[in-house]
Amino acid sequence: MRTGVFGQLLNYYRFWLNSKPIGGHGIHSPYVYNLYTEVIEPDKKEKVFDKIEEYRKELKGCGISVIRKSIGESTNSGYRGEEVSLRKIATSVAIPKHLGRLLYRLIQNYQPKTIIELGTSVGISTMYIAHDNSKASIFTIEGDEAVLGIAQNRFRKNGLTNIQTLSGVFDEQLPRILSELNSVDFVFIDGDHNGRSLINYFNLLLPKINEKTVIIVDDIRWSKNMEKAWDYICANAKVSISIDLFRCGILIFEKGIAKQHFALRYGPY
């Protein structure tokens, strides 16, 4: 069950007490200090962000609704199998701007060649990943054809030929695409916010990660079982650095760094 407003406030209070402040003071790992001060924190404006946010604005104003399929643990339980406006999807299902900008900066920093996204929806996060990144191969999986169709149209319109969309449930599409890849460099998990599913996707990905792989998990505090699943995957011996940004988490597999966990403040949450 999704954590309610009071639970989220309490979570945020606890996070605030335990997290490192803006500026990077107190981060003793040089790797994480550099990542935080050079990539996570500097929220610079890029030209391409306007293009993506213009699309979000169009969706908000178009007056169209879709019947959403009932798959996975939806972002908002009211959306399962119901008619939902694109306004609502663009406003509260798609990632917020500050998380999109973070994805963009992480991609620009790590320059991953092979990227997998779980949960395309209308394609807003995919666009933050794909723009200015034409050399990467991006595979994005979505089980709801209605929203995927909308995303595909926009990818075509924006000339994003580096994106391959996979229609179907993660349980089937993820093993299928992984079987065709030697290695995966960057993963964004943003669908089926259920702890058991998250652990399952993480375990499927593990054999294909390399030392430069970065995995971003959204909504790590969506529910108690997502919190537990996040803690569980952070404890995996292959994860060298885990970073809790409150809303989402970053997993790094770099070798030769002492295993450490960080809670760092970023964005308006």
Ligand X SMILES: C[S@@+](CC[C@H](N)C(=O)[O-])C[C@H]1O[C@@H](n2cnc3c(N)ncnc32)[C@H](O)[C@@H]1O
Using CB under 6 A, list all residues that contact ligand X.
71-72, 75, 93-95, 119, 121-122, 124-125, 141-144, 147, 169-170, 190-192
For ligand X, give the closer residue by CB, 27 or 154: 154
Question: In whole angstroms, what is the distance from residue 186 CA to residue 214 CA?
Answer: 5
Shortest Å, Cβ 88 to ligand X:
12
For ligand X, give the closer residue by CB, 32 or 142: 142
Shortest Å, Cβ 127 to ligand X:
8
Question: In whole angstroms, what is the distance from residue 95 CA to residue 36 CA?
Answer: 20
Give the contacts of 229 (CB within 8 A, at least 6 positions apart): 195, 196, 198, 199
Question: In whole angstroms, what is the distance from residue 132 CA to residue 139 CA?
Answer: 16
For ligand X, give the closer residue by CB, 104 or 170: 170
Shortest Å, Cβ 76 to ligand X:
9
Question: In whole angstroms, what is the distance from residue 256 CA to residue 241 CA?
Answer: 11
For ligand X, give the closer residue by CB, 80 or 228: 80
Shortest Å, Cβ 21 to ligand X:
27
For ligand X, the nearest residue by Cβ is 72
Give the contacts of 166 (CB within 8 A, at least 6 positions apart): 139, 140, 141, 142, 173, 176, 177
Contact 73, 3 (CB under 8 A): no
